[in-house]
Every structure is written in structure tokens, then in C-alpha cells.
Amino acid sequence: MFFFENLVVIQEYDVLLLNLFSMRRHHLSKDDLTVIKTINSKFEKGHTLSDKEVSFVQSLTQSKQILSQEAISEFENRLSNIDYPDPSYWFKNIAIEISRKCNYDCLYCYQRKFNHDVAEMDDNKVLRVAEFLNWYSETCGVSNDVHELTITGGEPLLPKNVPLINNIVKTIKAREYTLYTNGTTLNMQWDSLPMELIHKIQFSLDGNENLQLQMAGKRITKLNKTLFQNTLKSISKAMTYQKEIVIASVINRDSVYFLPEFFSYLKKLNYLSYDKLAWRISVVVDYGSSDGLDHEHNTAIDLLHMVDFVKREAPELLGLINWSDSILPLLSSLRRKQNTRIGFLYRRCKNFDGIGGYFAGDGKIHYCSLAEKDYGIVGSFFPDFSVNNVFLNELTNNDIFHIEECKNCLYRYICAGGCPLYKMQFHDINRPFCGLLKNKEIIENIGYFV
């Protein structure tokens, strides 16, 4: 429900107004909610407000929770006339996909559809990545200063890939190197890898032993239970060597009920007391669905049941869960502890100040994670170098001042047009991706997520 330019958030004990222009928040009583509904109804029917209702609106206007039309126009004119810098498309954060092979077969993995692809990275292609970065820097007149290089897959630590990982770190210079892995072999291969240069390790770990093996797919049987213990040993070793660690967990409509138990398990292992460890939890996504969710694993209605369970059984985890990329900025605005000014969003991607190139074994460079094999391609590095300038130009104009459907949307400064990766699945990044912001049940119950 909207009240002027405010989103009305119904919470357990009160009502919260969030101004979608200024992001100012204001708490009201449940009785005030009745007043708001009455005023909205009268506006729709063209009826005159009572003196009490006029006073209610004036009070919120004086406190700047409701902005006058003049204030909104001034606000928008000022924002639209800012000289925003065009994206400087240098390769700031890149990922090297070694292979799409994996010793797990996770039920929810969005890359399962690429499992049949046999193209892999090799030493020659690694050299071409380094040469491409130099060529691109010289040709386009941009920096060649990779901040973070992520080594990923599939599972990058399959034994035959160890020499290649050493070559990647040796050949392609970056400020920091990150490794994405399920951790099932890291403990055993630690001394053979360039771990002194690996700054951060992200481990995929979805639950305790039984749940992890269940989520890992049909290929994983009871005979493979040592894989889970190996992951724990790898995490412990990374802690011993003071590495920055991320535990990335995925939940769905079924596994969420094991989350409190998993929480207790991680605490028992003392993982959550390690000051360089972050635990990130997300639901199962589908970059090609209309709302961004994989409906085989969790629908929007499922999310409401899931968040209700978490609030009752493990409320401290509520803020750790990414329920959806589309509502993440909204939840961040609602959850902040003070009415501090937050950054203004006009583009929705951290990679707009530098490309997040994803270098795949087939020689293509994707803008972000590989979610669509033939779209969202920035260029190629093997066998020949190329840059997709048409696509880069589309990215340049991918903001709320150029996307027609965003110009009159109340969510535009929250959503900023939506994540480009989702829009790429519909082969038109010049349209917004609204996701769950346009889901009536989610927005009416957004207070549950706060």
C-alpha cells in the first residue's frame, strides 16, 4: 500500500512509512493505519477529507515524511541534472571459470543446464586472458588493474586443475585472489596450491551432514560422506591460516526447517565466532523466471512461510538471508538502524564502475555470472580478441533516467531498474526487472522480512 510517495509497511506492533524518494522513515500506530486507508479511499473516490484527516496529512508534510509536489519536482530535477560519470569499463573484478564439472550435483544449481558443456580453461587460454586484459587496456585507454580475481567453476579444485590454478595466479595479476569451492578437496591439496596469495575462500555449505548430502544431488551417496567432513577440515584449516571466509548456504521451502539446527551446529564448531567469517544465506534463484525465483524450489508464497518460520525459530538469522535480489535494497532501507542518508541508486550494479568479466572456457567473456550462454557477452578472449561495443553502450544507458518504464515508478530509487543479470535472460536490458517488487503478497507483507 502507498500513502502519497510512501510505502506503508505493516509490522507486528506498529506501522512504518518509508518515503521512496528521501528514504525517510516514520513510525505510526496501528490506529493510524485506519486513518491512512480512509484517506486513500477518499482520494480514490474524490471525497473531501475531514479536518482531522487534513491535520494528519499536514503533520506528516511538516516533518517531511510527505513531500510537497514542489519538493519532489526540485528533488528530481536536481538528480536528473547531476553530471553522472559514464561507466569506465575497465575490468575491475573478474572471474575465471576453470570448468563446469563438479563432484557435486546440487539440486538448485543454476549452472546445471551447462553441465553438458565440455569447454574448459587451459594454460593457453589463461595466457590469452592476461593478453586480452593488456590489449583491452591499451586499445580502450582504460586501466589494467584487476582488484579481485575469483577462481570458480563447477568445482575448481578437482585434482587435475591444481597446476592450472597455480598458473592463473602466476600469469594474471590482481590485487586479491578469491577461491569459490565446496571445500571437499581443499584440505588435502592446500600445500599444492598458491594459498599464500589466496585472500578469500567461499565455501558452499548448505547444512549439516545429512542435509548437505541430500542437497548435493543423486550422485552423492552415503559412501561419499567423507566429502562433508573434508569440507569442515578445509574451513578449519582456512581459519588456522587466517583467511577471509564466506560460508554460502542455499535454502528452499524444505531445507529452511533445518536452518536453526545448522545454525547451532556452526556455533558449536566455533565458526561463527571467527572474526573473518561471513555467513551468507540465499534462497534458490532462477535468472530466467519473471520474479527471479526458482519455482521448483521456492515460490513467492513459499517465502512468506519460510520467513515466518525463521522469525519464530531463529530470528537472529533474518538479516543474513537474501530473500531476493529484487527486494534486497528495499529491505536494507527498512532495516537500517537510523534515518541516515543512504546512497542514491540510479544504476543497479556494483560493476558499473568497472566490468565484472566472467571468462569462460569457451573463450567468451560474460558481463557477470554465466546465466545465459549466448547473451550478456562483453566480448571474447579466445581464440581472438573482441569487444561487444553495442552491448557496452546499452549498459551505459541502463539507468532509471533512460529506461522508460522506470521514469514514473515509485520504486525507481530503490530498484534502480533491477539487476542487469536478470534482464539479460529476457534479452532486453533496456527494460526494468522488478521481480518481487511487483508481487502484491510480498509487498503487502514486507514487514515480515524486516
Which string of DSSP letters, residue by residue, matches 165-201? HHHHHHHS--SEEEEEE--TTHHHHGGGTTTTTEEEE
298-296-325 Cα angle (round to 5): 45
pLDDT the model gives residue 285 = 92
Separation between Cα atoms, residue 390 and residue 384, nearest integer Å: 18
From the list 347, 296, 295, 304, the residue with the least C-alpha distance to 323 is 304
From the list 313, 308, 320, 315, the residue with the least C-alpha distance to 283 is 320
Predicted TM-score (pTM) of the model is 0.92
pLDDT the model gives residue 354 = 63
Is the Cβ–Cβ distance between 205 and 213 less than 8 Å?
no
Q: Is the bond preceding residue 383 a cis peptide, omega within 30 degrees?
A: yes
Residue where the block lists cell 560493476: 351
pLDDT the model gives residue 396 = 74
Task: For residue 19, give Cα distances in angstroms to 4, 5, 101, 448.
Answer: 9, 6, 47, 19
Is the Cβ–Cβ distance between 203 and 183 less than 8 Å?
yes
pLDDT the model gives residue 235 = 98
Task: Please tell me the chain's helix, strand, coil percentages from 3-state DSSP, rounded to the nearest 5.
Answer: 40, 15, 45
pLDDT the model gives residue 84 = 66
DSSP E strands in 40-118: the ranges are 93-97
Output the tens digit of pLDDT for each of the chain's 450 residues: 999 999 999 998 999 999 999 899 999 999 999 999 999 999 999 999 999 999 999 999 999 999 999 998 988 888 877 776 666 677 889 999 999 888 888 888 877 666 667 789 999 999 999 999 999 999 988 889 999 999 999 999 999 999 999 999 999 999 999 999 999 999 999 999 999 999 999 999 999 888 887 777 655 555 467 888 999 999 999 999 999 999 999 999 999 999 999 999 999 999 999 999 999 999 999 888 889 999 999 999 999 999 999 999 999 999 999 999 999 999 999 998 876 666 667 777 765 566 678 999 999 998 877 666 777 888 999 999 999 988 888 877 788 888 899 989 999 999 989 888 788 777 677 889 999 999 999 999 999 999
Residue type, 49: L
Question: Class of 93-284+348-394 per CATH?
Answer: alpha beta
Q: Please name the residues in contact with 92: beta carbons below 8 A apart, sequence gap of 6 or more.
A: 145, 146, 147, 148, 351, 353, 354, 355, 356
pLDDT the model gives residue 351 = 58
Burial of 341 (0-12, 13-18, 19+ CB in 10 A): exposed
DSSP E strands in 89-239: the ranges are 93-97, 148-152, 176-181, 198-204
Separation between Cα atoms, residue 152 and residue 181, nearest integer Å: 7
Return the domain boundaries, the chain. 1-83, 93-284+348-394
